[in-house]
Amino acid sequence: MFVVSDVLCVPVVQSQYDWGVTYTSTEICAFKGSTVDIYCAIKYPSTISYRYITTGETFWFKGDDTVDLKTKSEYSSRVEYNCDMNYCTLRVTDLRESDSAEYKFRFITNQPGGTYTGSPGVTLSVTDSDLQVQVSRLQVYESYNWAELKCHSSCLPPGHPSYIWYKNGQNISEGTSYSAYFDPADSFSCAVGGYEKSRSPSVYAPKLPSVSVSPSAEIVEGSSVTLTCSSDANPAANYTWYKYHGNPNLHLPSKEPQLILSSILPSDSRGYYCAVENDLGRRTSGLVPINVKCE
């Protein structure tokens, strides 16, 4: 997984007179298994009543439970603190969904009552990788298909992350998007550079559909017959049914994978087929004959 650390300086200051905590971001999104850095800067008076002020204990805590994260068993080997002058960082590794929470920084000075907590803190949201390939444009030139693909996630690091593109499982390109001619049998996926094991699901045009008939035995007038169109596709395919009727063929109203012919008549004895279509292409099944016998 990759590191998600929002270092855009968006000052959010919780202060009282000369006391305060500034977080560089108040909301961070990160993938499960990644590492996150949370930054803050602190300030406090240099003297109070001619007494020099120094910081003693500093720590981070989660939610309203003001207990040092390092003392919690679930964080003991996954948490690091780093403070340099008045700048402090919390690093959490191997993120879990249970780490989703608000994190706050507290510092204690040598001044009686000189304890300060930066509140509100930083809200961390940890989620599974939700990388998806989106088809931004598809054009068909005779027997060739041209697609423009984009890698998308609702949880990505700031800036311009590098993406790796895969065609049929093989590394083919780098960049935010990918454009090329493709064969209907091709599949595409993407990953964030450096974290190739966390790839998006593959997208591909519908596979050649097939149609099954139930019951498969003799079809008698007045009975009910179910035709089922099957095809593998991602994104999911839309279905269209047709009844052979010369040119043009009859477009049936069903948009579902199943077509139900109730109280079937001898006049329904025709060939039937389905078409499946998604953002990457369209395929049509073979013709399936239906022969209805009179009672």
Does 47 have pLDDT greater than 60? no
- Mean pLDDT (the chain) is 83
Contact 38, 90 (CB under 8 A): yes
Does 268 have pLDDT greater than 80? yes
Identify the structural domains of the chain with CATH numbers, from first to last.
Answer: 12-127 (2.60.40.10), 132-204 (2.60.40.10), 210-293 (2.60.40.10)
d(CA 61, CA 81): 12
Does 5 have pLDDT greater than 90? no
Q: What pLDDT digit, counting tens, does each position of 201-232 carry?
A: 999 999 999 999 998 878 888 899 999 999 99
Which bin fits 125, alpha (ψ -120 to 50), beta or left (φ > 0)?
beta
Angle at 166 between CA 163 and CA 172, to 5 degrees: 85
As beta bridge partners, residue 12 has 23
- 215 vs 58, 223, 228, 290, CA distance in Å? 74, 10, 11, 11
d(CA 164, CA 151): 9
Mean predicted confidence (pLDDT) in 115-125? 88
Does 87 have pLDDT greater than 50? yes
Instruction: Name the residue with higher pLDDT: 21 or 251.
Output: 21
Does 45 have pLDDT greater than 80? no
Distance, first Cα to last Cα, the chain: 66
Does 4 have pLDDT greater than 80? no
124: Cα within 13 Å, side-chain hemisphere: 31
The confidence score (pLDDT) of residue 242 equals 93
Mean predicted confidence (pLDDT) in 81-108? 91
Mean predicted confidence (pLDDT) in 154-171? 79
Contact 25, 103 (CB under 8 A): no
DSSP-derived secondary structure for 32-53: TT--EEEEEEEE--SEETTEE-
Does 280 have pLDDT greater than 70? yes
